[in-house]
């Protein structure tokens, strides 16, 4: 369910009158996504995406997200570009919510990740990191290491309903991860996507028929953090098979292409196992929090937190980068 706020015809017409994007031809809700209300918008000048930002998004942070997307797009990263109204502003109000229109990106996200997706993904991620250097706004990662203990505390009362003994196991994992986490300033940092799952990456075939990245979307978890942490998120999200096994071939393709654009430092490479554990516990905890706090009958589909428990256990056994094939 991705339309939480309905938009009336009258409100939409008044909203679009503030833009110079042509006459409306079609308007429909988009069924994918869980954080905001998204609509596909077609005018006689092209296709756009209208997003209404829901209560989980802090309106004060929207200028960072929209500004970063514009900054990256100007530098060649295939991401949505915010569309400014006639007043020069991209962010305004619609139906009582902050709202923005962005350009539409062609492409399809991979329902089943194949090995040939990983090299273009790695290169695109490295180009994003390189292009983001120089963007002047800093946004701390609210779902980074400092946010994990409060998330776990919020799951303590009902967390074991997902699996017996889960909370106690997560206490141990979290303590070990935080103890091994890289000290501040020891790894390169910059602007990261922090949520580059398969449904946030669009592909189209290139001239040879192989998949090429055509779009990176959903920058609403973007922040300033360790660049290698973004790689760890991708290793979690892209390199496990449906049976739970870790695909080393995919991991090597991702890292090889990334390093074709930006070389990892030895310290970054050595830190990858603990960064992967951190990424696994981050997504486990946010899923577990939603799982324990979603009321019965809610229209939001709860994602399985135990998928990331299995990934966390795998990375906890991998003490070196070589152990995960990288």
CA–CA dist 19, 200 (Å, integer):
27
Nearest-angstrom CA–CA distance, 20 and 52: 19
**Alpha-carbon 263 to chain mean position:** 22
pLDDT tens for each residue of 185-244: 999 999 999 999 999 999 999 999 999 999 999 999 999 999 999 999 999 999 999 999
Going from N- to C-terminal start, the domains of the chain cover 9-103, 115-324
HSE-CB for 29 with a 13 A CA cutoff: 15
In this structure, are residues 22 and 45 in contact, taking their beta carbons and an 8 Å threshold? yes
Per CATH, the number for 115-324 is 3.90.1200.10
Q: Do domains 9-103 and 115-324 have the same CATH topology?
A: no
What is the SS3 assignment for 308?
helix
Pick one of 3.40.50.1110, 3.30.70.100, 3.30.450.40, 3.30.200.20 as the CATH number of 9-103: 3.30.200.20
Looking at residue 320, what is its pLDDT? 83
Give the pLDDT confidence of 162-186 residue by residue, as tens digits: 999 999 999 999 999 999 999 999 9
């Amino acid at each position: 369910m991705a339309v939480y706020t309905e938009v009336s015809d009258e409100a939409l017409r008044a909203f679009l009158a503030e833009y110079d994007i042509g006459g409306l031809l079609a308007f429909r809700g988009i069924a994918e996504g869980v954080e905001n209300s998204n609509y596909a918008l077609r005018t006689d000048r092209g296709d756009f995406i209208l997003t209404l930002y829901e209560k989980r998004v802090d309106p004060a942070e929207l200028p960072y997200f929209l500004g970063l997307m514009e900054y990256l797009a100007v530098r060649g990263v295939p991401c949505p570009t915010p569309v400014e109204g006639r007043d020069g502003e991209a962010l305004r109000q619609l139906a009582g919510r902050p709202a923005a229109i962005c350009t539409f990106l062609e492409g399809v996200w991979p329902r089943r990740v194949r090995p040939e997706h990983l090299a273009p993904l790695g290169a695109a991620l490295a180009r994003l990191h390189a292009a983001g250097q120089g963007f002047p706004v800093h946004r701390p990662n609210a779902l980074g290491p400092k946010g994990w203990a409060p998330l776990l505390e919020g799951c303590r009362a009902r967390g074991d309903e997902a699996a017996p003994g889960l909370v106690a196991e997560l206490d141990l994992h979290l303590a070990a991860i935080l103890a091994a986490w890289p000290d501040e300033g020891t790894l390169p940092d910059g602007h990261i996507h922090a949520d580059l799952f398969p449904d946030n990456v669009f592909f189209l075939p290139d001239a040879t028929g192989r998949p090429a990245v055509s779009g990176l979307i959903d920058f609403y978890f973007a922040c300033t953090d360790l660049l290698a942490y973004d790689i760890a998120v991708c290793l979690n999200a892209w390199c496990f098979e449906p049976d739970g096994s870790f695909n080393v071939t995919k991991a090597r393709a991702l890292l090889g292409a990334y390093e074709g654009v930006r070389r990892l430092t030895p310290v970054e490479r050595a830190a990858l196992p603990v960064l992967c554990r951190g990424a696994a516990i981050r997504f486990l905890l946010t899923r577990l929090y939603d799982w324990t706090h979603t009321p019965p009958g809610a229209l939001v589909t709860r994602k399985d937190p135990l998928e990331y428990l299995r990934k966390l256990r795998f990375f906890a056994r991998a003490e070196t980068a070589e152990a995960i094939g990288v």
